[in-house]
Amino acid sequence: MKKVVKFGGSSLASAEQFKKVGDIIRSDETRRYVVPSAPGKRFSDDIKVTDMLYACYDEAKAGKDFSDALKGIADRYQEIIDGLGLSLSLEGEFKTIEEQFKAQAGSDYAASRGEYLNSMIMAEYLGYEFLDSAKYIFFDENGVFDGDKTQKILSKKLEETERAVIPGFYGSMPDGSVKTFSRGGSDVTGSIVAKAAHVDLYENWTDVSGFLIADPRIIDNPKNITTITYRELRELSYMGATVLHEDAIFPVRKEGIPINIRNTNRPEDPGTMIVETTCVRPEYTITGIAGRKGFVSINIEKDMMNSQIGFGRKVLGCFEKHGISFEHMPSGIDTLTVFVHQDEFESKEQAVLSSLRHAVHPDMIELESDLALIAVVGRGMKATRGTAGRIFSALAHAYINVKMIDQGSSELNIIIGVKNSDFEKAIKAIYDIFVTVQL
């Protein structure tokens, strides 16, 4: 048994947090590869080291004196080193960083130092080998992650390395310069390392005990999701549930490696298991609810639409031409409705409408803005009768008008469109009917 363990910024924000992480790693000798983030916030209005690095680099780039800003960052690390009683000195590293900032090495280089330095401390603290991700994780000349090259080189190195710390968030370009993933990208590194090391489990340690059935800003104390499939997770994250970087599932999913989301501050909690497939039935028929506000519906009406071959293609072509992606497209006999993101659509609205008029000569086009989409997701729905019925009666009892319904034949999710102003109320009604009262 081998595991990769990734720790998020809040799990490594201070010496106290480092000690918890050290205890977690030492308590299980299969936790052989460690992927740290940069130190995150110690308290709610604290600043993440990654943000301090971006700001410091901006000053350097503008030709300003950035010594105070860099000193503030060095102090954050020194506090951790001292708190752990280590004798490690980062003085030489900070000299190099200063020189590189003056030479304008780029904001990716700047941001990557957060994980780089934190991993050095972690390696020293654990007595593990330190592997610089710039030498083992690669991007191609277009800045796209190069999975093949990485897999070859990183796999070989990990085969020879019993225990190692590999910084999250960055790798290198073909010219050797540092490149980062998008924000939160240490999750992606963890997944890449898990794949390369052929581990049995990727543990992703954060500050919550896994995924929740619904957003805690809307539902008081929502229940946890104990097991979720990759497909369900894709649906929920797309609709706004966060915890894990979206791209983190791809490398491990291909290899069939499960991810376990765990809480550094409550290591006794089992967290959420993310798996390819499972026979574990979700406790409540539905696995989760997520949603987003800010959609517009464009309703197009034309007599005899159903007999015109290519009508739908021409309609979607108008959106494509203006670079607008569509979310859903429910249809009737003589009507077709396209749901798009309001912020993408608004500035191109008139151009799209005129394209539609030219392309399909509709009898009527009607727009409705300020709509929200809610996804009710669950592998358990397939085997259960009446899920849709329960959702809609719950919404009706809450006096919520449903604007759109879309259920794919996979029966994995039901998408519901409501007014933005009904969004929270609708989520609450659905949560209550499945979880609170458990009908």
What does the binding site for ligand ASP look like in residue numbers (CB under 6 A)?
Answer: 9, 37-38, 48, 50, 114, 168-169, 183-186
Q: Which is nearer to ligand ASP, 80 or 429 (CB)?
A: 80
Q: Which is nearer to ligand ASP, 167 or 222 (CB)?
A: 167
> Under a CB-based contact definition with an 8 Å cutoff, are residues 290 and 216 in contact?
no
Report phi then psi at 136, rounded to 5: -130, -10
Q: What is the DSSP string of 342-388?
A: HHHHGGGHHHHHHHHHHHH--SEEEEEEEEEEEEEE-GGGGG-TTHH
Strands (E), 27-183: 31-36, 129-130, 164-165, 170-172, 178-180
Question: Closest approach of Cβ 53 to ligand ASP, in Å?
Answer: 9
**Distance set, CA 224 to CA 112, 212, 276, 288 (Å):** 33, 4, 19, 9
Task: Determine the 3-state secondary structure of 5 from DSSP.
Answer: strand
Question: Closest approach of Cβ 22 to ligand ASP, in Å?
Answer: 19
Answer yes or no: is 207 a known binding residue: yes
Question: How does DSSP classify residue 326?
Answer: E
Question: Closest approach of Cβ 15 to ligand ASP, in Å?
Answer: 18
**CB neighbourhood size of 396 (10 A):** 12
Q: Which is nearer to ligand ASP, 11 or 413 (CB)?
A: 11
Q: Is the four-CA dihedral 37, 42, 43, 49 of positive or negative sign?
A: negative
Question: How does DSSP classify residue 417?
Answer: E
Classify each residue of 150-165 as buried b or exposed e, where b means 16 or more C-beta atoms within 10 Å of its C-beta: beebbeebbeeeeebb
Q: Which is nearer to ligand ASP, 139 or 339 (CB)?
A: 139
Question: Closest approach of Cβ 188 to ligand ASP, in Å?
Answer: 8
Q: Which is nearer to ligand ASP, 187 or 327 (CB)?
A: 187
Answer yes or no: is 169 a known binding residue: no
CA distance 206 to 8: 5
What element of type H or E holds 262?
strand 259-263
Q: Which is nearer to ligand ASP, 114 or 271 (CB)?
A: 114
Answer yes or no: is 288 a known binding residue: no
Strands 201-206 and 259-263: parallel
HEC string of 30-71 equals CEEEEEECCCCCCCCCCCCHHHHHHHHHHHHHCCCCCHHHHH
Answer yes or no: is 9 a known binding residue: yes
Question: Closest approach of Cβ 189 to ligand ASP, in Å?
Answer: 8
Question: Closest approach of Cβ 190 to ligand ASP, in Å?
Answer: 9
Answer yes or no: is 7 a known binding residue: yes
> Under a CB-based contact definition with an 8 Å cutoff, are residues 202 and 191 in contact?
yes
Residues written for the chain:
439
**Distance set, CA 363 to CA 217, 229, 303 (Å):** 43, 44, 7
Question: Closest approach of Cβ 117 to ligand ASP, in Å?
Answer: 12
Q: Which is nearer to ligand ASP, 227 or 260 (CB)?
A: 260
Q: Which is nearer to ligand ASP, 133 or 337 (CB)?
A: 133
Q: Which is nearer to ligand ASP, 47 or 218 (CB)?
A: 47
Q: Which is nearer to ligand ASP, 170 or 434 (CB)?
A: 170
**CB neighbourhood size of 430 (10 A):** 27
Task: Determine the 3-state secondary structure of 95 from DSSP.
Answer: helix
Binding-site residues for substrate, in ranges, read 50, 115
Binding-site residues, in ranges, read 6-9, 50, 115, 206-207, 217
Binding-site residues for ATP, in ranges, read 6-9, 206-207, 217
